[in-house]
A and B are shown apart, each in its own frame.
Chain A
Amino acid sequence: MSIDYSEKIPNNVDLAGDRKLQRALESWQPNFLNWWKTMGPAVPTQDVYLRTAVDVGKEGWAQFGHVAMEEYRWGVFLSERGDDRRIAFGEQKGEPAWQQVPGEYRADLQRLIVIQGDTEPASVEQQRRLGETAPSLYDLRNLFQVNVEEGRHLWAMVYLLHAYFGRNGREEAEALLQRNSGDLDSPRILGAFNEETPDWLSFFMFTYFTDRDGKYQLGTLKESAFDPLSRTCEFMLKEEAHHMFVGTTGVDRVVGRTAELMREHDSDDIAPHGGIPLDVIQKYINFHYSVSLDLFGSERSTNAANYFTAGLKGRWQEERRKDDHLLTDDAAHVDVVRDGALTTDEVPALLALNHDLRNEYVKDCQSGLKRWNRVLEKAGVDRTLTLPHVGFNRQVGVFAGHHVTPVGELVGEDAWNAKADRWLPSEADKTHVRSLMRPVYEPGKIAGWIAPPSNGINGQPFEYEYVHLA
C-alpha cells in the first residue's frame, strides 16, 4: 500500500522521508480506521464542520471545513522548538534534552506513553452513543470535534511508540486499539475510562473534570527530558484546551438554563419542567470531580519520585518554579487519615509529587465553580455550587477505604452510605437526566434542558448546519 503521506497524514515529522514510520503506519492506519468505524461515533453522518490541524503554526493548526469523518486527516504534530533544550529538573538537570530514548528509561517512558495513549481512544469509546441524543447540531459537532482530536492524540502517542520504541513500541501501539473501554476481557488501563458516558451532562462534566486531569498529565510530560514527548504534549495541550472549553461552556449553559427555569417557575424543583435541578448538577460535579482526582494516583508515590529524578516527568510549570528542581532536600505536606481524623504528614517533597499536581488541578477546577456561580448570581439565583472535599468518594490514595463527606467530615460507612444518594447521582437522578436526552437535529434548535451557546463555531452562527446527517 502506498500513501501520499503529506496529503493523507498532515505532519511535521518528515513522514515522507521516514521509512520506519511509514512501515509502522501502513499496518497501523487501517487498524485505526477499522477501530474508528466500529468503536467511534455511532450516529451516521455525511460530513461534519471540523477543525483540522495541518500545521503547527498559527495558520495551520485550525483549518475549518465540512469533512466526512472517516476521511478526517489525523496528523502527527510536534511543537517546533530550538535544538538546545536542556533538562529542567532531576538528576540530569542542565544536560541536553534527549532526542532518543535512553535504553535505561525505555520501559518507564514506554509505560508513561502507553498509559497516556490508552486514555485517548477510551474517551471516544465512552462517548460513542452520545450523538444519538445530542441537544443540538452545534453540540453534536463539538462532540465529534472532541472525538477526532482524541483520535489525533492517540496518533500522537502512537507516533512516539512507532518512532522511538522499535518493535516493542509497535506492539504496544497495536494493543492501544485492542483494549476497549468497558471490555470485560480487555479493558482500558485506568478505571475511570471504563465507565460509559451515558448522557450529555456527564459528557460536559467529563470534558471539564476528566479532560482537565489529562491537561495536567500532559503538562507534566511536556516537561520531560525526552524531547519528542515534550514537544508532542505541548501541541496536544493546545487541542486539549478546546475540550475543556466544551466542558466549561457546556456546564455554563446547563446551569444557565436551570437558573432560567428556576426563576420562571419560582421553584428549585424544575424536573417536571424539563430541566436539570441544581442539586443534580451538584451531584454530577461531586461524582466527576472525585473520580477524576483518583486519576492522580497515590498522594505518596515512589514511581512519581523516580520519574522526576530521572527527568521523565516534571511538575506542572516546572520551569517557572523557583526552587532547585531536584527536591532531594525538600519536604511537603500530604493528607493522611489518622486516628479517625484528617490531618497532614510531612514527607520528602519527591514522594509528594502526585499530591502537588493534584493541588494544581484542584485550584484550576475552582475557577469553573466560580464561573458557574456567577451565572447563578447573574440570573438572581441565591444558590452556589461547590467542589466537594478532596477526600470525598475516593477509591485511590490515602482516602480510599475511608468515608469522607463532601464537606470533609470523616464518618462511618453506614452513615456515609445512608446519604450517598444525596451526594452522588441517584438512580432516580440518572433516570431523569436520561429522560431528557432526546436528539435535536434541526439547525438552530436546542433541547429544553440547556441554553444555546452565545457564539457559534469559527464565526458561524448557532443555526449553521454544522453536521449533515446521513
Chain B
Amino acid sequence: MTTTSMSTTEAEPATAAAAPDTAETPAVSFDTSPEQYRHWVLDLSQAADTGVAWLRLDIAEDGGIVPGYELKMNSYDLGVDIELYDATQRLRFEHPEVRAVVVTSAKDRNFCAGANIRMLAQSSHPWKVNFCKFTNETRNGIEDATANSGQTWIAAVNGTAAGGGYELALACEQILLIDDNSSAVSLPEVPLLGVLPGTGGLTRVTDKRRVRKDRADVFATRPEGVRGKQAVEWKFVDETIPKRSWDETVTARAASAAAQSSRPADATGIALPPLQRDETADGIRYRYVSADFDRERGLVEITVLGPDGGVPESLARVHELGADFWPLAMTRELDDLVLRLRANELELGTWVLRTRGDVEDALAMERVIAEHSRDDWLVNEVRHYFKRVLKRLDVTSRSLIALIEPGSCFAGALLELALACDRQYMLDGTLDEEGSEQGDEAQIMLSDSNFGAFPMSNGLTRLASRFYGDDEHVEALRGEVGRRIEAREALDLGLVTDAPDDIDWDDEIRIMLEERASLSPDALTGMEANHRFVGPETMESRIFSRLTAWQNWIFVRPNASGPEGALRRYGTGRKAEFDRKRV
C-alpha cells in the first residue's frame, strides 16, 4: 500500500500523529453509489457505443473518512477505496455493456500518490490492517473482473503514480504511462516511510509483471521510481505514450481490449439498490442474513437464510429479479456484514455461522447458477461474487465456527460457508426440546460446486485444501454428491470437526466457544491464517500470507510507528531514527 506525495508534498507539523493506538475507531459504512462519490467519476457516457468506461480519480482533499488529514495529491484513504469497490461492483452488475475500464486521474500531472501518510500515521494498528486488507480485496476484485467478467482494466497513468497509486495500476491488466519526462511510477515506501508497498506492490511487480528481482530491488528502494524507456524495458509499465498522442492511444488500447471481451451485446444490467439493513446496538439484520452480537462472550451469531420463494422458472426471471435473486441478495448482505463486522466490531472475535432453510431449495437455486454461469453474464457474476465473499471470509481475522443444526441448509454453495470456517460442529440427532416438533436431523449435502466453482486464493477448492495431499479422498467425495449426509457420516467423511449428540451439544459448544474466547486474539489470527491456507501459493495468496504479514509486523515496529519511526516522522522535516538491529 501506501505512500503519498513523495518529496514534492509540503510538510506540515505532524501534530495529528500522536498516539495512534488510542485513536477512536469511527464506525464505517460501506454504502455508496456513483451519485454520492466524492473522489471518483465514473464516466459511462461512451460505454454504450465503445464498451469503455472511464473511471477518473479526483480526490476531494477535504473528503477524508475521518478528520485529521487532507487528501492531497490524489492520495487516498478508506473512503476513497470504498467508492472504488462500489464502482467495481456496479460495473459488473449494472453495466454489462462495459468491456474495458480505463482508470485514470482527473488531476493534472498526478495520477495517484497512494495512501495518505498522515492518515496512516494517525491510524491505530487495526485500522491500518483493515484498510489494507480491504484495499487488497478490491484490487484482487479488479483482476477478477479482467479474468472472469470480460471487463479488462487498463491503467492510464497520466501523471506520477507513487506507492499505492502504482499498486492500483499494477492491479490493472495494462499499464500505460504518459511520457512527459517527469511522470514516473514508483514504490517509495521503503526509502521514504520505512514500510512496504503492502497492497500487492512488491508481489505484483515480480509475480505478475515478471520484473527481475534485482531490478525490483533497485526500484523499490529508489524513491523517484522509473519513467520513460527504462520503465518499459524493466517491465514496470507496458507502454509509454507521448503526451500529444495520449488520449487517442489510450482510447485505442481500450477499444482493442473491449473488442476481445466475452461480454454479450445488448445485455441490460440490473440495479444494485441500497441494502435494506436494520442496525441496532445488538446486531444487524438484513433480509437473508442476520447477526446477533454477544458482547459478553465476544462473539457474533450469524445466520444465513436459504431462499424463501420458488426457484425462478427461467433465466429471464432471474434477470427480472435482479438484486432480489436470492443468491445475489444473500451474497450482497453477507459481503456487507463481513465488511462491517471487520471494521466496526473488533472485539467480537468469534463468528458463529449457521444457515436456516430448505436443503432442496438451496440446491435448486444453485443449479440455476451451475447451469447458466457459463452462458449468462449475470449468473456468472453472481457466482464470482459469492466466490469473492467466501475469499473475504478466508482472510478474515476472526475465529470462524460453523454450527450445523437441524433445519440448516449447508448444501452445495452454502456448504462452502461451513468449509471456510476453522471448525465445523454438526449435531448428531435432534435437540429434543419440550414442545418443539421433532424435526429432521441436520444434514449437509455436497454438490458439484464444491469441486471447483469457488476456489480459494491458493487456487484450490476448500475441499482440496481441507484434504490436502489426499486427492483420492476428494475424488471419493465426488461420489457423495447429491446425497443427504447426516452427522455421524459427515464425521467419518471428515467434513465436520465433531458431531456431538443432543446430550452433549450445548456443553460442548459452550465450552468450545468460551475456551476460544480466552485465547490470545493475535495468536489465533496467526494460527488460523496458517491453517486455512495449505499447499500451493498463488500471487493472490502471497499478497496476504507474505506481503501483508510482513507489512503488519513492520507496522507495529518502532522503526515505522514509534515516535521516531519513519511513518510518524514523515513530513515533519525530521529524520527517522532507526534501531539498527536487523531482526
Q: How many residues of B sit at the interface, in one of the four size bands? A: 10 to 19
Residues of B contacting A103 in the complex (Cβ-Cβ under 8 angstroms): 510-518
Q: Digitize B502-539: 1 where CB-to-A-CB distance is under 8 Å, 0 elsewhere.
A: 01100110111111111000000000000000000000
Residues of A contacting B482 in the complex (Cβ-Cβ under 8 angstroms): none
Q: Which of A201-257 contact B (CB under 8 A)?
A: none
Asked whether A167 and B508 contact (CB < 8 A) given A19-B503, A20-B503, A23-B503, the answer is yes
> What is the interface size of chain A, counting residues whose CB is below 8 A from a CB of the partner?
14
Q: Which of A102, A104, A164 contacts B507 (CB 8 A)?
A: A164
- Contact, CB under 8 Å: A102 / B514: yes
How far apart are A161's CB and chain B's nearest CB, in angstroms? Answer: 12
Q: Digitize A397-440: 1 where CB-to-B-CB distance is under 8 Å, 0 elsewhere.
A: 00000000000000000000000000000000000000000000
Residues of B contacting A166 in the complex (Cβ-Cβ under 8 angstroms): 500, 504, 507-508, 511
- Contact, CB under 8 Å: B515 / A106: yes
How far apart are A13's CB and chain B's nearest CB, in angstroms? Answer: 15
Residues of B contacting A107 in the complex (Cβ-Cβ under 8 angstroms): 515
**How many Å lie between the Cα of A102 and that of B517 in the bound state?**
11
- Contact, CB under 8 Å: B503 / A106: no
Residues of A contacting B500 in the complex (Cβ-Cβ under 8 angstroms): 166-167
- Name, among A20, A100, A103, the residue most crowded by chain B CB atoms within 10 Å (CB to CB): A103
- Contact, CB under 8 Å: A167 / B504: yes
**How many Å lie between the Cα of A19 and that of B502 in the bound state?**
10
Residues of A contacting B517 in the complex (Cβ-Cβ under 8 angstroms): 103-104
Residues of B contacting A19 in the complex (Cβ-Cβ under 8 angstroms): 503
Residues of A contacting B508 in the complex (Cβ-Cβ under 8 angstroms): 166-167
Q: Which of A356-390 contact B (CB under 8 A)?
A: none
- Name, among B513, B514, B517, the residue most crowded by chain A CB atoms within 10 Å (CB to CB): B514
From DSSP, what is the main secondary structure of chain B's interface residues? Answer: helix
How far apart are A130's CB and chain B's nearest CB, in angstroms? Answer: 40
- A332 CB within 8 Å of chain B: no
- Name, among B503, B510, B511, B514, the residue most crowded by chain A CB atoms within 10 Å (CB to CB): B511
Q: Which of A141-185 contact B (CB under 8 A)?
A: 164-167
Residues of A contacting B516 in the complex (Cβ-Cβ under 8 angstroms): 103
**How many Å lie between the Cα of A167 and that of B514 in the bound state?**
16
User: In the complex, what residue of chain A is closest to B507 when comparing beta carbons?
Assistant: A166
**How many Å lie between the Cα of A383 and that of B516 in the bound state?**
61
How far apart are B512's CB and chain A's nearest CB, in angstroms? Answer: 7
User: In the complex, what residue of chain B is closest to A20 when comparing beta carbons?
Assistant: B503
- Name, among A100, A104, A164, the residue most crowded by chain B CB atoms within 10 Å (CB to CB): A104
Q: Digitize A92-106: 1 where CB-to-B-CB distance is under 8 Å, 0 elsewhere.
A: 000000001111101
**How many Å lie between the Cα of A104 and that of B498 in the bound state?**
20
Residues of A contacting B512 in the complex (Cβ-Cβ under 8 angstroms): 103
Residues of A contacting B514 in the complex (Cβ-Cβ under 8 angstroms): 102-104, 106
Residues of B contacting A164 in the complex (Cβ-Cβ under 8 angstroms): 507
Q: Digitize A64-108: 1 where CB-to-B-CB distance is under 8 Å, 0 elsewhere.
A: 000000000000000000000000000000000000111110110
Q: Digitize B474-499: 1 where CB-to-A-CB distance is under 8 Å, 0 elsewhere.
A: 00000000000000000000000010
How far apart are B315's CB and chain A's nearest CB, in angstroms? Answer: 49
**How many Å lie between the Cα of A167 and that of B509 in the bound state?**
11
User: In the complex, what residue of chain B is closest to A170 when comparing beta carbons?
Assistant: B504
**How many Å lie between the Cα of A102 and that of B296 in the bound state?**
13
**How many Å lie between the Cα of A20 and that of B507 in the bound state?**
10
User: In the complex, what residue of chain B is closest to A105 when comparing beta carbons?
Assistant: B518
Residues of A contacting B513 in the complex (Cβ-Cβ under 8 angstroms): 103
Residues of A contacting B515 in the complex (Cβ-Cβ under 8 angstroms): 103-104, 106-107
**How many Å lie between the Cα of A218 and that of B73 in the bound state?**
71
**How many Å lie between the Cα of A19 and that of B431 in the bound state?**
13
**How many Å lie between the Cα of A102 and that of B511 in the bound state?**
7
**How many Å lie between the Cα of A104 and that of B514 in the bound state?**
6
Residues of A contacting B510 in the complex (Cβ-Cβ under 8 angstroms): 100, 103
Residues of A contacting B504 in the complex (Cβ-Cβ under 8 angstroms): 20, 166-167
How far apart are A263's CB and chain B's nearest CB, in angstroms? Answer: 63
Residues of B contacting A102 in the complex (Cβ-Cβ under 8 angstroms): 514
Q: Which of A1-30 contact B (CB under 8 A)?
A: 19-20, 23
User: In the complex, what residue of chain B is closest to A169 when comparing beta carbons?
Assistant: B507
**How many Å lie between the Cα of A103 and that of B401 in the bound state?**
15
How far apart are B297's CB and chain A's nearest CB, in angstroms? Answer: 9
**How many Å lie between the Cα of A165 and that of B508 in the bound state?**
8
User: In the complex, what residue of chain B is closest to A164 when comparing beta carbons?
Assistant: B507
**How many Å lie between the Cα of A166 and that of B513 in the bound state?**
13
**How many Å lie between the Cα of A101 and that of B515 in the bound state?**
10
**How many Å lie between the Cα of A102 and that of B513 in the bound state?**
10
Residues of A contacting B518 in the complex (Cβ-Cβ under 8 angstroms): 103-104
Q: Which of A84-139 contact B (CB under 8 A)?
A: 100-104, 106-107
User: In the complex, what residue of chain B is closest to A100 when comparing beta carbons?
Assistant: B510
Residues of B contacting A104 in the complex (Cβ-Cβ under 8 angstroms): 514-515, 517-518
**How many Å lie between the Cα of A107 and that of B519 in the bound state?**
12
How far apart are B275's CB and chain A's nearest CB, in angstroms? Answer: 35
How far apart are A290's CB and chain B's nearest CB, in angstroms? Answer: 39
User: In the complex, what residue of chain A is closest to B511 when comparing beta carbons?
Assistant: A103
How far apart are A170's CB and chain B's nearest CB, in angstroms? Answer: 9
**How many Å lie between the Cα of A214 and that of B517 in the bound state?**
34
Q: Which of A20, A23, A101 contacts B511 (CB 8 A)?
A: A101
User: In the complex, what residue of chain A is closest to B509 when comparing beta carbons?
Assistant: A166
**How many Å lie between the Cα of A268 and that of B220 in the bound state?**
93
How far apart are B347's CB and chain A's nearest CB, in angstroms? Answer: 16
**How many Å lie between the Cα of A166 and that of B516 in the bound state?**
16
Residues of A contacting B511 in the complex (Cβ-Cβ under 8 angstroms): 101, 103, 106, 165-166
How far apart are A22's CB and chain B's nearest CB, in angstroms? Answer: 9
**How many Å lie between the Cα of A223 and that of B306 in the bound state?**
50
Residues of B contacting A101 in the complex (Cβ-Cβ under 8 angstroms): 511
**How many Å lie between the Cα of A103 and that of B512 in the bound state?**
6
User: In the complex, what residue of chain B is closest to A21 when comparing beta carbons?
Assistant: B503
Q: Digitize B142-162: 1 where CB-to-A-CB distance is under 8 Å, 0 elsewhere.
A: 000000000000000000000
User: In the complex, what residue of chain A is closest to B432 when comparing beta carbons?
Assistant: A19
**How many Å lie between the Cα of A166 and that of B503 in the bound state?**
9
How far apart are A407's CB and chain B's nearest CB, in angstroms? Answer: 48
Q: Which of B59-113 contact A (CB under 8 A)?
A: none
**How many Å lie between the Cα of A343 and that of B162 in the bound state?**
68
Residues of A contacting B503 in the complex (Cβ-Cβ under 8 angstroms): 19-20, 23
**How many Å lie between the Cα of A23 and that of B498 in the bound state?**
19
**How many Å lie between the Cα of A106 and that of B507 in the bound state?**
11
**How many Å lie between the Cα of A99 and that of B507 in the bound state?**
13
**How many Å lie between the Cα of A329 and that of B500 in the bound state?**
45
**How many Å lie between the Cα of A250 and that of B526 in the bound state?**
59
How far apart are B85's CB and chain A's nearest CB, in angstroms? Answer: 37
- Name, among A23, A164, A167, the residue most crowded by chain B CB atoms within 10 Å (CB to CB): A167
**How many Å lie between the Cα of A268 and that of B408 in the bound state?**
82
**How many Å lie between the Cα of A23 and that of B507 in the bound state?**
15
Residues of B contacting A167 in the complex (Cβ-Cβ under 8 angstroms): 498, 500, 504, 508
Residues of B contacting A23 in the complex (Cβ-Cβ under 8 angstroms): 503
How far apart are B29's CB and chain A's nearest CB, in angstroms? Answer: 34
Residues of A contacting B498 in the complex (Cβ-Cβ under 8 angstroms): 167
User: In the complex, what residue of chain B is closest to A23 when comparing beta carbons?
Assistant: B503
User: In the complex, what residue of chain B is closest to A24 when comparing beta carbons?
Assistant: B503
**How many Å lie between the Cα of A138 and that of B513 in the bound state?**
53
**How many Å lie between the Cα of A414 and that of B513 in the bound state?**
56
User: In the complex, what residue of chain A is closest to B516 when comparing beta carbons?
Assistant: A103
**How many Å lie between the Cα of A12 and that of B372 in the bound state?**
64
How far apart are A463's CB and chain B's nearest CB, in angstroms? Answer: 51
Residues of B contacting A100 in the complex (Cβ-Cβ under 8 angstroms): 510
User: In the complex, what residue of chain A is closest to B515 when comparing beta carbons?
Assistant: A103
**How many Å lie between the Cα of A212 and that of B220 in the bound state?**
71
Residues of chain B having any CB pair with chain A under 8 Å: 498, 500, 503-504, 507-508, 510-518
Known: A19-B503, A106-B511. 11 other contacts (CB 8 A): A103-B511, A103-B513, A103-B515, A103-B517, A104-B514, A104-B517, A106-B515, A166-B500, A167-B498, A167-B500, A167-B504
8 smallest CB-CB distances across A and B, nearest first, come from A103-B514, A104-B518, A103-B515, A103-B511, A20-B503, A166-B508, A166-B507, A166-B504
- What are 12 A-B residue pairs whose CB atoms fall within 8 Å in the complex? A20-B504, A102-B514, A103-B514, A103-B516, A104-B517, A164-B507, A166-B500, A166-B508, A166-B511, A167-B498, A167-B504, A167-B508
